[in-house]
Amino acid sequence: MAKKPIIADSSVMISLTKVKKVYPGGHTALDNVNLEIRRGEFVFVLGHSGAGKSTFLKLILREEVATSGRVVVGGRDLSRIRQRDIPYLRRGLGVVFQDFRLIPSMTAFENVAFAMRVTNIAEREIKKRVPYVLNLVGLAGKARNYPAELSGGEQQRVALARALVHSPPIIIADEPTGNIDPELSVEIMELLKAINMVGTTVVVVTHEHDLAQRFSERIITIDHGAVVADDQTKGGGAF
Ligand code: ADP
């Protein structure tokens, strides 16, 4: 039996309290970061290159550990999480990586199915679930295509389908417009918004100020490792 994700659907999905991250070598990437992302929010984390966005992502995925302060995701204090529970934490965080991270030798179907197979989900369930999520992202007709046969936007939607396969309470998109044509960025943002509308918390990490202004309801701005602004915007109306 596949173990359930360990993330609880708590009212605060992500919280950082007085978080400091100093990398080996002494560089301080984040310093005294305090923020709270609540269930159902659609939030942009905005910052220039080097601001600390990737470090923020790595902390909540537990790829890095805070030097001090507290990182809590879905009610889990990540400084206390057991090593063997980390894969289950990550399963509760659907991440769409900037470079998509698809396996070139697998079709769209297989790429999504693979994420389920590694968690020992029954083949019968996979055969139902994969077409469902591919359909959700508008790729029902591309299940048999390999990544090289898909456009950048389509590859990204396969990555999104894979992120959605375990019905995670949180979806994180890392620079979602970084590797696709500008006109397709509207499409992916609309998909993320639709996912948010059904209750999933969405966090978009980007350096693109205009995108954040246009699509977000809340923009957390990071600069030189600190939260310098946390604004509610009217951008949600763009959908
Ligand atoms: P962003 O994703 O916003 O570009 P990062 O979180 O990658 O920012 O980086 C924040 C700062 O931390 C940068 O100055 C970067 O050079 C530094 N940094 C990131 N990763 C490491 C690392 N593994 N070791 C040392 N310094 C790092």
| Predicted pLDDT of residue 160 | 96
Non-local (6+) Cβ contacts of 176 within 8 A are 96, 98, 156, 185, 188, 189, 192, 204, 206
Its sign, for the CA torsion 200, 205, 208, 213, is positive
In a domain, 78, yes or no: no
Distance CA 75, CA 15 (A): 9
The finding on whether 21 has its CB within 6 A of some atom of ligand 1 is: no
> Terminus-to-terminus CA distance in the chain, angstroms?
40
The finding on whether 15 has its CB within 6 A of some atom of ligand 1 is: no
In a domain, 186, yes or no: no
| Predicted pLDDT of residue 238 | 47
In a domain, 143, yes or no: yes
How many domains is the chain built from? 1
In a domain, 159, yes or no: yes
| Predicted pLDDT of residue 7 | 73
* Helical segments of 69-222, H only: 86-91, 108-117, 123-136, 152-164, 182-197, 209-215
CA of 55 from ligand 1 middle (Å) equals: 6
| Predicted pLDDT of residue 48 | 96
Higher pLDDT, 179 or 152: 152
Q: Using the predicted structure, report yes or no on whether residue 56 has a pLDDT greater than 60.
A: yes
In a domain, 174, yes or no: no
Q: Whose CA is closest to atom 22 on ligand 1?
A: 23
The finding on whether 50 has its CB within 6 A of some atom of ligand 1 is: yes
The finding on whether 201 has its CB within 6 A of some atom of ligand 1 is: no
In a domain, 225, yes or no: no
| Predicted pLDDT of residue 4 | 59
CA of 185 from ligand 1 middle (Å) equals: 25
Q: Percentage of residues in the chain with pLDDT exceeding 70?
A: 95
Split at pLDDT 50, 70, 90, the class of 147 is very high
The finding on whether 23 has its CB within 6 A of some atom of ligand 1 is: yes
In a domain, 148, yes or no: yes
- Give the model confidence (pLDDT) of 189-218 as tens digits: 999 999 999 999 999 999 999 889 888 789
In a domain, 47, yes or no: no
Q: Whose CA is closest to atom 27 on ligand 1?
A: 23
Atom number, ligand 1, closest to the C-alpha of residue 54:
2
Distance CA 60, CA 44 (A): 15
Q: Which domain holds residue 132?
A: 102-166
78 neighbors 21 (Cβ within 8 angstroms): no
